[in-house]
Structure 1
């Protein structure tokens, strides 16, 4: 996203903080909430990546890991980073049966990529490379700052709105408005925060990351296969971290939520079928441009030890 959209997003989230503060304690509450929002913006810029990684219990992967699958994962991220012209990001693993992955960090020099244990178990090595190339494309395109800031702030707004819903209704304001009005207002603010995230994170971001990721790994077809596999398993496998923190759903390569009820408000991902079609077309175009070789060398899959 360009800087203007980023500033607009932060302004919108800050305004929501202020509205909730006003509903809780009038003008004084609004000032306190706005001060809190400024502090949260600063925190999110410097620490949102660490907060998201902690949220999912992500563990850092070292290059000398005793697990062959983790070593392959680390080595492939290192090679793909070189191909993309990026600094080596921190590499993390998350314990979850659902295959999925995301990238985070305020800039390419402070980036991290994370994959679930389910992703490493269920996909072959070429497909994993495609997924990580997609995540590195987010880093290269500088999407990750906006993605992690929105995850942090939207989650905080939802929590504050829920707090206001339970405790803000005990106060009638100076004009005598009823408690029920305050309660209803708080009930709709959390969904508004979710909708703001959905609108702010453009679906074109995923298409662009697919395109750039396909070029980085040199094998768009592997990424296309990975997307189909991830979506199939994501529908039937609960990602408990994402269900507890739905405002972070847009970080993942495929929506990790089940899509029930309010989860639909966080559906920032384009249809997987359309993404697959675009990747297949990209693969055909790459082969036409370079019939003999497109710069991709298939890496044999190493079974998990």
Structure 2
């Protein structure tokens, strides 16, 4: 979940900054100079929506490293780090992608994530909690799951989906904001009033959070594919064992689900969950889906 959470958070922040810049440059005034120009607004929303999404993608590795304090392994400090590098290198070669950066970050819960702007420019990170609590076979399956995310191009796929929802978020927030400005704030000027700008910013956050549910739904579908990829790279038995271990860790943990479900963990039943329930993932693997 961490890679998606960071991506969504970065995306909302980038979109707000782009919207403020657009307002300062007079784009909104241009769009509403003679009433709301829906055609021009849709084009503007698409350019900024996809632009914001791809900016977030390019920032994904940097954001992940900064937010987790991950240590990228360049020179292994011990046998465990050497094993991590060798395992990811072997799996990346089998998956047909360039060697990702491999990192370890300090966190008590067993989690891992993969992120990056492309298949050949990616990061795979595991928590110290995962290294301590899981067997080598289980860790191998977790790494294979994350390598599969990279090989499947999941971050790029979700970026395109995010670009589409960004477009509609920007479009709808301005249409509704314009209506609110006219109906509630009684603005009679051709140029948008303060009510318009305030409404747009608030609506963009609200619609953006709602749009995150759509991205989360697509993310849940990609998890099944990454599980299947991990079963191919590391073996079905190891992947099922890793999921069962994570399911046990979740049941024993007092942490909330959103803090438990990083790149490999899952099971939250909320609409915002980026991962299906672990039971469903195990069942899909056992059924050979």
TM-score > 0.5 by shorter chain: yes
Q: Paired residue for 1:103?
A: 114
1:257-294 superposed Cα distances (whole Å, 9 cap, x missing partner): x77xxxx2321322211211232344xx9xxxxxxxxx
Secondary structure of residue in 1 paired with 2:265: coil
Call closer, same or farther: CA 1:73–1:147 in 2, change over 3 Å: farther
Do the aligned partners of 1:105 and 1:144 also contact (CA within 8 Å) in 2? yes
Moved more, 22-31 or 182-191: 22-31
For structure 2, list consecutive stretches of 5 or more residues without a partner in the other structure: 1-7, 32-40, 187-194
TM superposition score normalised by structure 1: 0.63
| 1:189 maps onto 2:226 in alignment | no
Q: What secondary structure is seen at the aligned counterpart in 1 of 2:207? A: helix
User: What is the Cα deviation at residue 113 of structure 1?
Assistant: 0.8
Counting only pairs closer than 5 Å after superposition, residues 190-205 of structure 1 correspond to structure 2 as 190-199=208-217, 201-205=218-222
TM-superposed deviation, 1:29:
9.8
1:57 to 44, 58, 69: 69
Secondary structure of the residue aligned to 2:113 is: strand
1:273 aligns with 2:271: no
Is 1:213 aligned to 2:219, yes or no? no
Q: How many residues align?
A: 242
Contact 1:104–1:147 under 8 Å retained in 2: no
Q: Which residue of 1 aligns with 2:246?
A: 230
- SS of the equivalent of 2:125 reads strand
Deviates more, 1:48-57 or 1:202-211: 48-57
Alpha-carbon distance, 1:17 to partner: 6.3
Cα drift, residue 45 of structure 1: 3.9
Give me the whole-angstrom Cα distance separating, in 2, the residues matched to 1:67 and 1:154.
44
Aligned to 1:76: 87
The structure-2 alpha-carbon separation of the partners of 1:267 and 1:42, relative to structure 1 and needing over 3 Å to count, comes to: closer
Is 1:41 the equivalent of 2:57?
no
Separation in 2, partners of 1:93, 1:65: 11
CA–CA distance in 2 between the matches of 1:237 and 1:131?
Answer: 22
- Runs of 4+ in structure 1 deviating by more than 6 angstroms, as ranges, are 20-26, 148-155
8 A Cα contact 1:61 1:70, kept in partner:
yes
Deviations 1:39-77 (A, max 9, x none): 523422433232233222222012x32222222222211
Please provide the CA RMSD for this pair.
4.5
Change (3 A) 1:111 1:148: farther
* SS of residue paired to 1:106: strand
Say if 2:134 is the partner of 1:116: no
Partner of 1:27: 28
TM-score calculated relative to the size of structure 2? 0.66
Q: Distance in 2 between matches of 1:55 and 1:152?
A: 23
Unaligned 5+ runs, structure 1? 1-8, 286-305
Residues of 1 paired with 2:66 and 2:165: CA distance?
Answer: 17
